[in-house]
Amino acid sequence: MVKVGVAGALGRMGRLVAETVAAQDDLELAACVDRTSGEAAGVPVSVERDVLAAVDVVVDFTHPDAVLDNLGAYRSFDVDAVVGTSGFTEDRLAKVRDLWEGSSRTCLIVPNFSIGAVLMMRFAEMAAPHFAASEVIELHHDRKADAPSGTALATARRLDSAGTQRRQVDGVETVSGARGADIDGVPVHSVRLPGLLAHQEVILGNPGEVLTIRHDSTDRVSFMPGVLLAVRSVAEMAPGVVVGLDGLL
């Protein structure tokens, strides 16, 4: 039985992860932590992070401002970490790699746990070398803590590595921000509206043609198979920091 801890267990994602883990025969929901105490899936939620030292793997869905400090604690507890919390820029990833240096445990950071989003990123990466340029539009609910999304950051990095050509775009921004954020040379545009959950379009252009790859998560249940796959696989993975689910699919 794998002992699983959930950090952020009273949040939208954490609560669903706690319920999903508790419903599995091979997993035990052994500890839950949040900023306030309460209860998730029948397990007490503690404000003391130390309760997570007793688990095999911690699933972290907290806040970009909290997650680096949390990862330091998980490193010292000598547990595996599956991280869904967003905000992992290259700088932040470098900090985590430093933090995790020499650990025998794995820190698996997953910008998006849904299978469709994993494939959307893969398809975009495949298309990138064949197109002159690409842009990303990510669309999320209006209570999302950060922008751009972790998925958009990861997608832009992968488009850049796969060889989307840098191009000169004519015209100036008469209003700052009109062309989006520049992530590794790829413009990323963030939309926040009530009614949305998690969506992304990658638009790739060539003279005379446009390819649009779009993914929509319409319910948070879309993330649960990926979370379970990560939780069940992380103990068998090479130690250190791993980004994305691709290697497990």
Ligand X SMILES: NC(=O)c1ccc[n+]([C@@H]2O[C@H](COP(=O)([O-])OP(=O)(O)OC[C@H]3O[C@@H](n4cnc5c(N)ncnc54)[C@H](O)[C@@H]3O)[C@@H](O)[C@H]2O)c1
Distance between alpha carbon 133 and the CA centroid of its chain, in Å? Answer: 24
x/- binding map, residues 145-164, to ligand X, per CB under 6 A?
x----x--------------
Sole residue written with tokens 């907290």: 62
- Whether 144 sits among the annotated catalytic residues: the reply is yes
Task: Candidates 38, 51, 63, 240: give the one binding ligand X (CB under 6 A).
Answer: 63
CB nearer ligand X, residue 131 or residue 223? 223
Least separation in angstroms between CB 246 and ligand X: 14
- Which of 35/214 has CB closer to ligand X? 35
DSSP notation for the chain: -EEEEEETTTSHHHHHHHHHHHT-SSEEEEEEE-SS-EEETTEEEES-GGGGGGSSEEEE-S-HHHHHHHHHHHHHHT-EEEE------HHHHHHHHHHHTT-SSEEEE-S---HHHHHHHHHHHHHGGGSSEEEEEEEE-TT-SSSS-HHHHHHHHHHHHHTPPP-PPPS--SSTTTT-EEETTEEEEEEE-TT--EEEEEEEEETTEEEEEEEEE-SGGGGHHHHHHHHHHGGGSPSEEEE-SGGG-
Q: Does 111 bind ligand X (CB under 6 A)?
A: yes
Q: How far is the CB of 83 from ligand X (least distance, A)?
A: 8
**Which lies closer to ligand X via its Cβ, residue 76 or residue 165?**
76
Q: Does 110 bind ligand X (CB under 6 A)?
A: yes
CA 235 to chain centroid: 19
**Interface pick for ligand X out of 62, 106, 134, 200 (rule CB under 6 A):** 62
Residue 140 appears among annotated catalytic residues: yes
Provide, rounded to whole angstroms, the least separation between the CB of residue 212 and ligand X. 22
Footprint (CB under 6 A) of ligand X, residues 68-107: 84-86
Taking the complex as a whole, the smallest distance from the CB of residue 116 to ligand X amounts, in Å, to 11
Task: Choose, by CB under 6 A, the member of 14, 154, 224, 230 that binds ligand X.
Answer: 14
* Least separation in angstroms between CB 35 and ligand X: 4
Residue 235, number of CB atoms within 10 A of its CB: 12
Task: Compare residues 64 and 240 and give the one whose CB is closer to ligand X.
Answer: 64
What residue is closest to ligand X based on CB? Answer: 11
Q: Is 112 in the site for ligand X (CB under 6 A)?
A: yes
Phi, psi of 159 (to 5 degrees): -60, -45
Which residue numbers are catalytic? 140, 144
Residues near ligand X (CB under 6 A): 7-8, 10-14, 33-35, 61-64, 66, 84-86, 110-113, 144-145, 150, 223
